[in-house]
Amino acid sequence: MSKPILFEKPRGVRDVLPPLAARKREVEKKIAKTFMRWGYEEIVTPTFEYAETFLNGAYRDNEDQMFKFIERSGKTVVLRPDMTAPIARVVASLLREHPVPIRLSYNTAIFRRQDTVSGREAEFTQSGVEMIGDESPDADAEVIALAVTALYEAGLEGFRLAIGQVNFLKGLFEEHVADVHVRGQLTDALAAKDFVTYERVVQSAVEEAAARDVLVQVPRLRGGIDVLETARLLTQSEQALAALDNIATIWHVLTLHNVVGEAQIDLGLMLGQHYYTGAVFEGYAPNVGFPVCSGGRYDDLLVKFGRPAPATGFMIGIERVLDVLEKSFPQDNQERYLVLYEEKDRYPVIGFTAFLRAKQFIVTSQRVDNVDVALEGQPSHVTVIAFKEGKLQTDDKLLTAMYADFGHAFRN
């Protein structure tokens, strides 16, 4: 192992420099504002917690994805690999007496030990919501509509959310596949998005020809509301039919929220996490190959923390959103001003720049030894203005007018 170079960083973490850091903050603010307007209240939980909290949640099978260390008591603690488990813990403990439904939101850094190739960082930012204590399809539709609204507010366009229902697949597999082991193989293949293996398992391990004909259609069950009618013909399973009814209702509520244009039904959608129990969804935007948001219903998680309650929610990957924005919509920056002055002009320059800031200008005052010399070599992304011999040296009409205003207001 070679010693790190002085300025080297561990793999998977990164510095966010200007102007990207400001844009990131801006996107987070817009999303947080949207969550707030829908009545979701922000929550902050510790950066690290006992490993058990997460093993109780989605990380049962992904233990090695957690950054672990030993706390002074000798117990294992981890940097939070998601926000769902901490929120479930809080709702079941500190907010135990708080009546449901509870609507919470967060914006926070998430840490995962994973291969640092291909858009999977070790530290990244998630903004999301959890809606606890409402099992109605209206709650599912609410979080989907909120996801769409938040993505629009963040500045995205042309994105699409795929909606699935894990109970449809569960019911369908139980109806048509006798062997539990084979059901597991089919589920795993769909979760891995490996339709070739899925089809192969169907053809080789399912005995009835009729069942095979039904099952091979699953990956192609995607599109608009009419997909549900196609799917209805494939099953008599109560669970699967109830799941289709559930999606139909969610779709209807989404039309009232006016967001079906951004939605697509995909009954083969199987998100990796095993804890999902109902409608699930995942969002994609142009030019970025990775999902920008994902979420769904997880009615069995809260009970593990001692307060049984249905729940749904989603998270938005802030870096992914920024990636789309940088690629698709070049930012037009607000003009920035830099006023150079020498010692003898300190008054009025400092007062003038304060006046400009109060008028929403972005302006920096910089003392220099010699204004003429300092004018050379200034950065090009700011408008540089010299203040010399008691005068503002500029043809910028707006700034000249502002200086005149300033003179009238403060310097008789």
Partner 1 sequence: MTIQALTVALSKGRIMDQTLALLRQAGLPVPDDLESSRKLILQSAGGEISFILAKPVDVPTYVEYGVADIGIVGKDVLAEADRDLYELLDLGIGRCKVSVAGLPEPPSSFAMPRVASKYPKIATDYFRQKGQQVEVIFLNGSVELAPLIGLAERIVDVVETGRTLQENGLVVHEDIMDVSTRLVANRMSFRLKSTAIDEFVARLRRVLAGEGVQ
Binding site for partner 1 (CB under 8 A): 118-119, 158-160, 162, 192-197, 199-200, 220, 222-223, 264, 266, 284-291
Distance CA 128, CA 42 (A): 10
Q: Please state the closest distance from residue 203 (CB atom) to partner 1, in A.
A: 11
Distance CA 214, CA 207 (A): 12
Q: Please state the closest distance from residue 286 (CB atom) to partner 1, in A.
A: 6
Distance CA 371, CA 339 (A): 10
Phi/psi region, residue 361 (left: phi>0; alpha: psi -120 to 50; beta: rest), is beta
Q: Please state the closest distance from residue 63 (CB atom) to partner 1, in A.
A: 17
Sign of CA dihedral 321, 326, 327, 330: positive
Q: Residue 292 has which token pair?
A: 């920008």
- Closer residue to partner 1, CB minimum distance, 73 or 118: 118
Beta strands 76-79 and 391-393, pairing class:
unpaired
Q: Please state the closest distance from residue 188 (CB atom) to partner 1, in A.
A: 13
- Closer residue to partner 1, CB minimum distance, 183 or 320: 320
- Closer residue to partner 1, CB minimum distance, 30 or 222: 222
Query: What's the Cα-to-Cα distance from 48 to each of 42, 109, 115, 118, rounded to whole Å?
Result: 18, 11, 21, 26
Q: Please state the closest distance from residue 289 (CB atom) to partner 1, in A.
A: 3
- Nearest Cα neighbor of 158 from 266, 285, 261, 255 is 285
Tokens 């006046």 sit at which residue? 355
- Nearest Cα neighbor of 193 from 167, 213, 222 is 222
- Nearest Cα neighbor of 23 from 111, 125, 168, 170 is 125
Q: Please state the closest distance from residue 268 (CB atom) to partner 1, in A.
A: 10
- Closer residue to partner 1, CB minimum distance, 132 or 162: 162
- Closer residue to partner 1, CB minimum distance, 51 or 218: 218
* Cβ proximity of 250 and 228 under 8 Å: no
- Closer residue to partner 1, CB minimum distance, 74 or 289: 289
Contacts of 30 (CB under 8 A, 6+ apart): 150, 153, 154, 155
Q: Please state the closest distance from residue 195 (CB atom) to partner 1, in A.
A: 5
* Cβ proximity of 399 and 385 under 8 Å: yes
- Closer residue to partner 1, CB minimum distance, 125 or 264: 264
Distance CA 226, CA 214 (A): 17
- Nearest Cα neighbor of 150 from 327, 331, 317, 326 is 317
- Closer residue to partner 1, CB minimum distance, 15 or 115: 115
- Closer residue to partner 1, CB minimum distance, 281 or 337: 281
Q: Please state the closest distance from residue 129 (CB atom) to partner 1, in A.
A: 22
Q: What 3-state class would DSSP assign to 118? A: coil
Q: Please state the closest distance from residue 263 (CB atom) to partner 1, in A.
A: 11
